Amino acid sequence: MIIKVSINDLKKGHFVVDIVEQQGTYNLARAGHIKSNDIILGLQAKGVNSVLIDTTKTIDEALKTNLPEQLEKSGPLILEVAKAKNIFKQSKQIQQQILLDAQQNRPIDLAPIIEVTNHIITAIFKNPDALVCVINIRDKSQYLLEHSVSVSVLMTVFARFLKIDRDVTQQLAIGAFLHDVGKIKVPDKLLNKVDKLTELEFEVIKEHVNHSIDIIKAIPDISELSLEVAALHHERLDGSGYPQKLHQDNISNYGAMIAICDIFDALTAESCYKKNYSPIKAFGILRGLALDGKLMPRLVDLFIKCLGVYPVGSIVELNSQRLAIVEGRNQDDPINPKVRCFYNIKYHRYIMAKNIDLAKEADFIIRGVNPVDYDIDHNRIIEFLLQEG
């Protein structure tokens, strides 16, 4: 059984699978047994707060029966979500440092960006659903930080789906990670303005792309491809985008890809000035933009196929008057995914979590929903499911 334990409860003989929570950015080279107390002290010194252990591999049998009662159990996807949350947290910390450096005109170090995008790519190649699930959890006070990380995740998931070479995928992920760095040069009062922007204010906002280009160009050893995708994220095929008002012939497939990822994430994320749309609603808007000639229709359809009709991590309402989180896709039956019920709509309360494969059950999805419509928080849902196991 895979469970999470506090670093204070870690013992010699435990088999550590991965790190869950930490203050730093330490990564295990490989899973393995704790062979001495010095190893535990070393993990504590590196800022590790909790880890995942496999109790079936514990060497000392006594430890198997004397584990703390409050330990959380985890199912396969939830296990990966716990690790993905750690990667997401690390990514935000690096993003915060990038913005601080850009704001104070200091050179940006490419090394940590390469490292963290490498972690993202490795996690996605192993299980893309976990990080897609995590990017559904948003803090509207950290929109700029989370948006850039999320677009990088989506770009990586999309590139993997399209079977793009890993080296190219990393360059795309780096460009997406940096695409909005220029917003640090835009006044907060405009970025966070709730009322409609004036024409002049919107022109100031649009300058963030040129700021991003200038900042990224100054990063030593940055690739041309990373710069390209960042520069093209607001261009549209009909020439209505900015800053260069490029048309389709001058926009690469990579530029068209990041435009889709950027719009989808902006639509599905909550910020201080707007509520988020459900993925289904966002897909509809993307298709509308494709019909209007702004996005590439073929890539929009592939992106929707990549994430699934009901993306992993999205919330759906079932015919049985329950809410469920999508936990897995059925490739042969995309409208009936694997879900985990957690909430009774009629009685407005959480219920014991239950896994259901809708392709094999009589129950079915009525619609995709926004958790705020039921006055519940997406992050609270994930935490509840982590505790339920």
The predicted structure's pLDDT at residue 387: 63
User: pLDDT-based confidence at 111, cuts 50/70/90?
Assistant: very high
- 342-354 mean pLDDT: 90
User: pLDDT-based confidence at 76, cuts 50/70/90?
Assistant: low
The identity of residue 329, as a single letter, is R
**pTM of structure:** 0.75
Spatial distance between the Cα atoms of 24 and 131, rounded to a whole number of angstroms: 20
Residues 6+ apart with CB under 8 A from 330: 336, 337, 338, 357, 358, 359
Q: What is the overall mean pLDDT for the chain?
A: 85
Does residue 77 carry a pLDDT above 90?
no
Domains in the chain (CATH in brackets) are 2-72 (no CATH), 77-307 (1.10.3210.10), 315-388 (no CATH)
Spatial distance between the Cα atoms of 171 and 257, rounded to a whole number of angstroms: 13
The predicted structure's pLDDT at residue 62: 40
Q: Which of 30-34, 156-160, 261-265 has the lowest mean pLDDT?
A: 30-34
Give 38-50 pLDDT, tens digit per residue.
Answer: 788 888 878 888 8
Give 309-334 pLDDT, tens digit per residue.
Answer: 888 888 899 999 999 988 888 877 88
- 178-205 mean pLDDT: 92
